[in-house]
Structure 1
Amino acid sequence: MRNTDFDRIPADQLPSERRIVAAVWPTLLASAVGLLPFTVFSTFLVSIADAVGDGDAAVGTLRGLGGIGAVLAGIALAPLIGRIAPGRVAAAALVLLAVASVVGTFAWMPTVAAFCLLTGVSNALMYPALSTAAADRFGDGPAAARAATLVMTAQTLASTLAAPLIALPALWWGWRGDLVAVAVVALVLTPVMFRYGRDERPTDRGGQRPGYLATFRTLAAVPGARALLLVAFGRAGAFMGNLAFLAPLYNDRFGLSPTVFAFIWTLSGGSFFLGHLVAGRLLNTDDSDRRAHRVMMICLLTALVALFGVSFAPVLPVALLCTAVLSASHAVIAAAVVTLLVRRCGDVRGPALSLNASGMSLGLFLGTAAAGAGLAVGGYPGAAAVLGALTVLALGAALTLRPPREADVIHPGGLR
Structure 2
Amino acid sequence: MSAAPDSASPDSASPEERTAEERPESDRRIAAAVLPALVASVLGLLPFTVYSTFLVPIADAAGGGDATVGALRGLGGVGAVLVGVAAAPLIGRVPPGRVAAWGLLLLAAASLVGTVAELPALAAFCLLVGVSNAVLYPALTTAAADRFGSGPSAARAATLVTATKTLAATLVAPLVALPALWWGWRGDLVAIAVLAVALTPVLLRHGRDRHVPAARHGYFAAFRGLAAVPGARALLLVSFGQAAAFQGHLAYLAPFYADRFGLTPGLFALVWTLSGTSFFLGNLITGRLVNTTGSDLRARRALHLFLPLALLSLFGVYLAPALPLALVCTAVLSASHAVGVASVVTLLVRRGGDLRGTALGVNASGMSLGLFLGAAAGGAGLAAGGYPGAAVVFGLFTALCVAAAATVRAAPRTPAPGRDPSPR
> TM-score, normalization: structure 1?
0.95
How far off is 1:385 after superposition? 0.3
Residue 33 of structure 1 is matched in structure 2 by 43
Whole-Å Cα distance in 1 between the matches of residues 123 and 346 of structure 2? 35
Between 1:337-346 and 1:213-222, the stretch displaced more is 213-222
How far off is 1:376 after superposition? 0.3
Residue 182 of structure 1 is matched in structure 2 by 192
Between 1:192-201 and 1:262-271, the stretch displaced more is 192-201
1:100 counterpart letter in structure 2: A
Match of 1:331 among 321, 333, 338: 338
Structure 1 stretches of 5 or more lacking a match?
1-6
How far off is 1:133 after superposition? 0.3
Is the contact made by 1:85 and 1:200 (CA closer than 8 Å) also made in structure 2?
Answer: no
- Is it true that 1:245 corresponds to 2:242 in the alignment? no
How far off is 1:8 after superposition? 2.9
Residue 235 of structure 2 is matched in structure 1 by 228
Whole-Å Cα distance in 2 between the matches of residues 172 and 407 of structure 1? 57
Whole-Å Cα distance in 2 between the matches of residues 333 and 230 of structure 1? 12
Whole-Å Cα distance in 2 between the matches of residues 332 and 175 of structure 1? 35
- Is it true that 1:172 corresponds to 2:182 in the alignment? yes
Whole-Å Cα distance in 1 between the matches of residues 162 and 53 of structure 2? 21
Aligned length: 404
1:109-133 superposed Cα distances (whole Å, 9 cap, x missing partner): 1100000000001000000000000
Whole-Å Cα distance in 2 between the matches of residues 389 and 354 of structure 1? 25
Residue 204 of structure 2 is matched in structure 1 by 194
1:114-153 superposed Cα distances (whole Å, 9 cap, x missing partner): 0000000100000000000000000000000000000011
Whole-Å Cα distance in 2 between the matches of residues 26 and 72 of structure 1? 27
Residue 301 of structure 2 is matched in structure 1 by 294
Root mean square deviation of aligned Cα: 1.4
Please state whether the residue corresponding to 2:91 is helix, strand or coil: helix
Structure 1 residues 397-416: aligned runs within 5 Å: 397-407=404-414, 409-412=416-419
Whole-Å Cα distance in 2 between the matches of residues 405 and 9 of structure 1? 19
Residue 152 of structure 2 is matched in structure 1 by 142
How far off is 1:208 after superposition? 3.3
Residue 361 of structure 1 is matched in structure 2 by 368
Match of 1:268 among 264, 275, 282: 275
Whole-Å Cα distance in 1 between the matches of residues 165 and 305 of structure 2? 24
2:97 counterpart letter in structure 1: G
Residue 107 of structure 2 is matched in structure 1 by 97
- Is it true that 1:81 corresponds to 2:81 in the alignment? no
> TM-score, normalization: structure 2?
0.93
Residue 209 of structure 1 is matched in structure 2 by 216
Where is the helix percentage greater, Structure 1 or Structure 2?
1
Whole-Å Cα distance in 1 between the matches of residues 148 and 180 of structure 2? 39
How far off is 1:83 after superposition? 1.1
Residue 3 of structure 1 is matched in structure 2 by none
Whole-Å Cα distance in 2 between the matches of residues 126 and 40 of structure 1? 18
Match of 1:281 among 280, 288, 291: 288
Whole-Å Cα distance in 2 between the matches of residues 155 and 269 of structure 1? 11
How far off is 1:201 after superposition? 3.2
Residue 262 of structure 2 is matched in structure 1 by 255
Residue 64 of structure 1 is matched in structure 2 by 74
Residue 4 of structure 2 is matched in structure 1 by none
2:240 counterpart letter in structure 1: F
Residue 136 of structure 2 is matched in structure 1 by 126
Is the contact made by 2:354 and 2:416 (CA closer than 8 Å) also made in structure 1?
Answer: no
Whole-Å Cα distance in 1 between the matches of residues 258 and 124 of structure 2? 34
Residue 11 of structure 2 is matched in structure 1 by none
Match of 1:161 among 164, 171, 180: 171
Distance 1:10 1:145, change over 3 A: closer
Is the contact made by 1:82 and 1:209 (CA closer than 8 Å) also made in structure 2?
Answer: no
Whole-Å Cα distance in 2 between the matches of residues 360 and 312 of structure 1? 27
Identity rate of aligned residues, in percent? 66
Is the contact made by 2:179 and 2:188 (CA closer than 8 Å) also made in structure 1?
Answer: yes
Whole-Å Cα distance in 1 between the matches of residues 131 and 381 of structure 2? 30
Is the contact made by 1:202 and 1:209 (CA closer than 8 Å) also made in structure 2?
Answer: no
How far off is 1:190 after superposition? 0.2
Whole-Å Cα distance in 2 between the matches of residues 336 and 411 of structure 1? 23
1:8 counterpart letter in structure 2: T
Match of 1:112 among 90, 112, 122: 122
Is the contact made by 2:93 and 2:215 (CA closer than 8 Å) also made in structure 1?
Answer: no
2:19 counterpart letter in structure 1: R
Whole-Å Cα distance in 2 between the matches of residues 344 and 131 of structure 1? 15
How far off is 1:393 after superposition? 0.5
1:98 counterpart letter in structure 2: A
Match of 1:392 among 386, 389, 399: 399
Match of 1:151 among 126, 148, 161: 161
Residue 51 of structure 1 is matched in structure 2 by 61
- Is it true that 1:315 corresponds to 2:325 in the alignment? no
Match of 1:9 among 20, 24, 37: 20
Whole-Å Cα distance in 2 between the matches of residues 77 and 123 of structure 1? 12
Is the contact made by 1:88 and 1:197 (CA closer than 8 Å) also made in structure 2?
Answer: no
How far off is 1:255 after superposition? 0.4
Whole-Å Cα distance in 2 between the matches of residues 141 and 31 of structure 1? 22
Please state whether the residue corresponding to 1:106 is helix, strand or coil: coil
How far off is 1:209 after superposition? 2.4
Is the contact made by 2:145 and 2:154 (CA closer than 8 Å) also made in structure 1?
Answer: yes
Is the contact made by 1:222 and 1:408 (CA closer than 8 Å) also made in structure 2?
Answer: no
Please state whether the residue corresponding to 1:406 is helix, strand or coil: coil
Is the contact made by 1:345 and 1:410 (CA closer than 8 Å) also made in structure 2?
Answer: no
